[in-house]
Amino acid sequence: MFFEGSEKKVEVVMTSSSDSLRSLDKVFWEKLVSLSNAEILSSVHNEQCDAYLLSESSLFVWHDRFLMMTCGNSTLVNSLLSFIEKVGVVNIQSIKYQRNKEYLGYLQTSSFTEDIEQLKQIVDGKAYRIGHLDMHHHHVFYYGNGLVEDSISSELLMYHISGNAAAYLRSDSQKKADIRTLLQLDTLFPDFAIDDHLFEPLGYSINGLKKDKYFTIHITPQESSSYVSLETNLDINAYQSGLFIRLLDILKPGSWDTISMNTQVEKQALVDSYCIGSCELFLNQGKEIAVKQYQQPWHKHLFAEQI
Amino acid sequence: MFFEGSEKKVEVVMTSSSDSLRSLDKVFWEKLVSLSNAEILSSVHNEQCDAYLLSESSLFVWHDRFLMMTCGNSTLVNSLLSFIEKVGVVNIQSIKYQRNKEYLGYLQTSSFTEDIEQLKQIVDGKAYRIGHLDMHHHHVFYYGNGLVEDSISSELLMYHISGNAAAYLRSDSQKKADIRTLLQLDTLFPDFAIDDHLFEPLGYSINGLKKDKYFTIHITPQESSSYVSLETNLDINAYQSGLFIRLLDILKPGSWDTISMNTQVEKQALVDSYCIGSCELFLNQGKEIAVKQYQQPWHKHLFAEQI
């Protein structure tokens, strides 16, 4: 029943003189996605963005950038290497390749270290590990060529979900509409065009799109290794204070991390939780990545699972 | 500079009708140790026990049992499989095979799951994981055949050591005598016959023996992945209250775990630390393993390490 929910992620921003990425046809993106051992399941579009739901997470394509995230034992670095080769590094303004610590890293095709060994052969970026090697930690590889327009992103990564919502997400006869209601998505993300998918035997993904803004949620509900991620480029503090808190309240994770790029998610912690990790990293051109890790007091009650 | 300090460990207890394990010659143990990709460096003996210091940790041999622990990318399960084959499972009363979560599990030759797949083909034991998959966790495989005499053990596993002692242990011109003084071993373990070794470029191991009692300390001081383990079969609460606290005070780890078998180490926590994990597991015949995990409040300050 094990599935690695933890995502690898890449954002590539093109130079202003490059052709629009949206002029590339669907076959181009299908091939790129296939190099990660994933496929396009469905999509939703508006005047600014194409959002693809993948068999392993999501792909968003704007005129000047794309964001791809893949979970499971996907090989996202291969998609990235192929993209760089196809468009030429000279047309790329910045690359941000990120990888969270996986639940079971030894099942992955490559380590982050191996990924960046390949990347560094063609782009002169810097790589960091944020966090202790024996705890949750986050890897980032960053390449920037000149001034890149600031982008904002906020991530909420939840581990070991519990309670009624978790029980429903592990049950047999789920419905997409019921999951949307459970997550209060109508209230949290009104007026977003959405595209969602229920996986067999378990798992749920949703992309939401509104003008140039997106949100994406991926749920791996399996016991012992449950993981739910939310990512958005909404400025969540300006947009809807307490967005993270609402989701934490619904999904009741034992622990969670927040990762924010050029924004603050300070006010998004539950009052009675421990902060067990905190770091700010400044990349070049003032770009800031902040990582915070929280644990519920009750999460210390470990269990012995027979294996 | 990375070295995996985290140990795999096995204790095998023989039936009362078996020959004394101490009648087996050194060549037998050398071969057994070599199957773990380790070698015997030195030894110390008394009337009850032979204690071998290994290139990767330690081996203790009593008349009716042996305890072997190996760190690095050692293959302890191969030694265990060979031992069972040589002496015959019918002559074995109990087997306890344990493995802590490694810093970098993907560098290991095998996973715990793979190890127990092999073991379960020849002994009918049960395997457990204690602790969350994404945090420190401890694996134990237990096989028991009839009533086994209770043994006591206590382990203190320290991660991310800091302060003056850590700085000395990472310095160039260390001396074994100075490390013994630094760790206050004369005070903590008076009258023990000792055998210690300083590794190149870094690392220190010591075995101590007094009658049927042992202690063993292994130090992997490398930054980012430092690890120090103490294990003993002394009843530490009866023997010397505050033994763990003394070592915590000297080595100042950011986090640590305690693992105790048939004894309590409750009073061995620092006052201002968080308990972030706690579990008791009852194996058959009332044997109890208790695992506790602690973190210092200051350990939450993460750093971004360029890699």
Q: Residue A268: its pLDDT value, please?
A: 63
- The amino acid at residue A108 is Q
Return all residues near B184 (Cβ < 8 A) that are at least 6 apart. Answer: B246, B250
Within 10 A of A139 (CB to CB), how many other CB atoms are there? Answer: 21
Given CB atoms, is B281 within the 8 Å cutoff of chain A?
yes
- How much is the pLDDT for B269? 63
Rounded distance between C-alpha atoms, residue A98 and residue A128, angstroms: 10
Cβ density class B23-47: b for 16+ within 10 Å, e for less: ebeeeebeebbebbbbebeebbeee
Residue B35 CA to chain centroid, in angstroms?
18
Q: How far apart are CA A26 and CA A33, in angstroms?
A: 10
Long-range CB contacts (within 8 A, 24+) of A240-246: A240/A188, A241/A267, A242/A267, A242/A268, A243/A188, A243/A268, A244/A154, A244/A156, A244/A268, A244/A269, A245/A269, A245/A270, A246/A184, A246/A188
- Percent of chain A having pLDDT more than 90? 84
A152 to chain B, any CB pair closer than 8 A? The answer is no
B165 min Cα distance to partner chain A (Å): 20
Q: Where are the alpha helices (DSSP H) in chain B?
A: 26-34, 76-87, 112-119, 163-169, 176-182, 185-188, 236-239, 243-251
ipTM metric: 0.88
User: Is A302 an 8 Å CB contact of chain B?
Assistant: yes
The H or E element spanning position A243 is helix A243-251
Distance CA B236, CA B213 (A): 11
Interface check for B304 against chain A (CB to CB < 8 A): the answer is yes
Q: Cβ separation of B302 and A278 shorter than 8 Å?
A: yes
The single-letter DSSP state of residue A14 is E
Tell me the residue type at B122. Answer: I
**A179 secondary structure, DSSP code:** H
Contacts of A119 (CB under 8 A, 6+ apart): A77, A80, A81, A95, A97, A125, A141, A143
Domain limits, chain B = 8-300
Q: Which of A226-230, A302-306, B105-109, B301-305 has the highest mean pLDDT?
A: A226-230
What's A8-300's CATH class? Answer: alpha beta
Tokens representing A64? 């000047």
CA torsion sign for A177, A179, A185, A191 is: negative
Contact between chains at B132 and A254 (C-beta distance less than 8 A): yes
Is the Cβ–Cβ distance between B257 and B138 less than 8 Å?
Answer: yes
Of B106, B134, B304, nearest to A106 by CB-CB distance is B106
* Per-residue pLDDT reduced to its tens digit, A142-163: 998 877 667 889 999 999 999 9
The reply to whether A42 touches chain B by the CB within 8 Å rule is no
**Quick one: pLDDT band at residue B145, thresholds 50, 70, 90?**
confident
Q: Which chain B residues have a beta carbon less than 8 Å from that of A295?
A: 276
Torsion of the alpha carbons at B17, B23, B24 and B30, rounded to the nearest 10: 130
Show the tokens assigned to A95. 């690359």
DSSP element (H, E) containing A185: helix A185-188
Flag whether pLDDT at A269 surpasses 70. Answer: no
Question: Nearest-CA residue of chain B relative to A291?
Answer: B302
pLDDT at B242: 83
Residue with tokens 């203790």: B60
Q: B143 and B94 in contact (C-beta within 8 Å)?
A: yes
Q: What amino acid occupies position B254?
A: G
B109 contact residues in A (CB cutoff 8 A): none
Separate counts of helices (H) and strands (E) for chain A = 8, 17
For the cut 70, the answer to whether the pLDDT of residue A4 exceeds it is: yes
A193-225: per-residue pLDDT in tens? 999 999 999 999 999 999 999 999 999 999 999
Average pLDDT, chain B: 93
Mean pLDDT throughout B98-125? 95
Give the tokens for residue B256. Answer: 């640590």
| Side chain identity, residue B133 | L
Q: Is A33 helix (H, G, I), strand (E, B) or coil?
A: helix
CB < 8 Å to A134, chain B: 101, 103, 136, 159-160, 225, 255
Check CB contact of B194 with chain A, cutoff 8 Å.
no
A209 to chain B, closest Cα gap in Å? 32
The answer to whether residue A293 neighbours chain B at the CB level (below 8 Å) is yes
Element holding A82 (H helix, E strand): helix A76-87
| Residue B129 with chain A: CB contacts under 8 Å | 304-305, 307
Residue A306 touches chain B, beta carbons under 8 Å: yes
For residues B208-215, average pLDDT = 97
| Cα dihedral B145→B146→B151→B153 (10° resolution) | 40
A244 vs B266 pLDDT, higher one: A244
In chain A, helix, strand, coil percent, each to 5? 25, 35, 35
Give percent of chain B with pLDDT exceeding 70: 96
pLDDT band (50, 70, 90) for residue B273: confident
Q: Confirm or reject contact between B255 and chain A (CB < 8 A).
A: yes
Residue A267 has a pLDDT of: 62
